[in-house]
Amino acid sequence: MNLESLYQEIILDHYKHPRGRGLRDPYAVEVHHVNPTCGDELTVRVELDGDTVTDVSYDGQGCSISQASASVLFEQLVGHSITEDLAVTDEFVALMQGRGQVEPDEEVLGDAVAFAGVAKYPARVKCALLAWMAWKDAVSQAVASQTPEVAP
């Protein structure tokens, strides 16, 4: 195990050149999540069009892992259905919590497979999950607030 397995090129690239960073309008729900042990924070906005995730915008500050993870999340999730995105999220969470024992499915995860090495550093798992937990929170709230309109 070495530093390069943790800080894969993809991660460093997303950290230095974040995709989709910055908070945008319109949005259905905005959430603010913090990692209380280190003070990293992230604001995430989710916009939906029916079952499609039309935007996930974000801003925050933190380590390379937490910020790159948000950038990868943006790339992987925007433009897909909520169902698909939640499946990707579940796969990513399982990978992160697998202590290095879970084999990542690149088909599902795309660039997010680069975080596989993080799972071997328990102290950093929360960094990688910050954006994903925030997005999951936001989309749940957005779906919940849509429900009355959808219901007959």
Partner 1 sequence: MTTMHAPLTGLLDVERVAADFPILSRTVRNGNRLVYLDSGATSQKPVSVLDAEREFYTRHNAAVHRGAHLLAEEATDAYEGARERIAALIGAHTRELVFTKNATEAINLVAYSFSNATAKAQHGRPLPEGAERFILKPGDEIVVTEMEHHANLVPWQEVCDKTGAVLRWIGVDDDGRLDLDDPVHGLDAVLGERTRVVALTHQSNVLGTVTPARRIAAAAHAVGALVVLDACQSVPHMPVDVTTLGADFLAFSGHKMLGPSGIGVLWGRYELLDSMPPFLSGGSMIEVVRMEGSTFAPPPQRFEAGVPMAAQAVGLGAAVDYLNAITSADGALTGLDAVAAHEHALTVYALEALADLPGVRVVGPVDSESRGSAVSFLVDGVHAHDVGQVLDDRGVEVRVGHHCAWPLHRRFGVAATTRATFYVYNGTRDVDDLVAAVRHAQAFFGVAGGAAS
Q: Tell which one of 14, 40, 92, 125 touches partner 1 (CB under 8 A).
A: 40
Residue with tokens 């997010």: 112
Report if residue 13 touches partner 1, rule: CB under 8 A: no
Q: Tell which one of 7, 18, 43, 98 touches partner 1 (CB under 8 A).
A: 7
Q: Which long-range contacts (CB under 8 A, 24 or more apart) does 144-152 make?
A: 145/28, 145/29, 146/28, 146/48
- On whether the CB atoms of residues 88 and 105 are closer than 8 A, the answer is no
What are residue 129's phi and psi, to 5 degrees? Answer: -85, -15
- On whether the CB atoms of residues 70 and 18 are closer than 8 A, the answer is yes
Residues in contact with partner 1, counted by CB under 8 A, come to a total of: 19
Report if residue 10 touches partner 1, rule: CB under 8 A: no
Task: Report CA-CA distances (Å) from 96 to 7, 37, 51, 99, 124.
Answer: 15, 18, 26, 7, 9
Report if residue 9 touches partner 1, rule: CB under 8 A: no
Q: Tell which one of 9, 25, 26, 39 touches partner 1 (CB under 8 A).
A: 39
- 25: Cα separation from own chain's centroid: 19
Q: Which stretch binds partner 1 (CB under 8 A): 25-33, 38-46, 74-82, 97-105?
A: 38-46
Residues 53-72 that bind partner 1 (CB under 8 A): 61-65
CB of 31 to partner 1, least distance (A): 18
Q: Which stretch binds partner 1 (CB under 8 A): 3-11, 48-56, 79-87, 102-110?
A: 3-11
Report if residue 33 touches partner 1, rule: CB under 8 A: no
Between CA 52 and CA 99 the distance in angstroms is: 32
- On whether the CB atoms of residues 62 and 40 are closer than 8 A, the answer is yes
Residues 98-127 that bind partner 1 (CB under 8 A): 121, 124, 127
Q: Which residues bind partner 1 (CB under 8 A)?
A: 1-3, 6-7, 12, 37-41, 61-65, 121, 124, 127
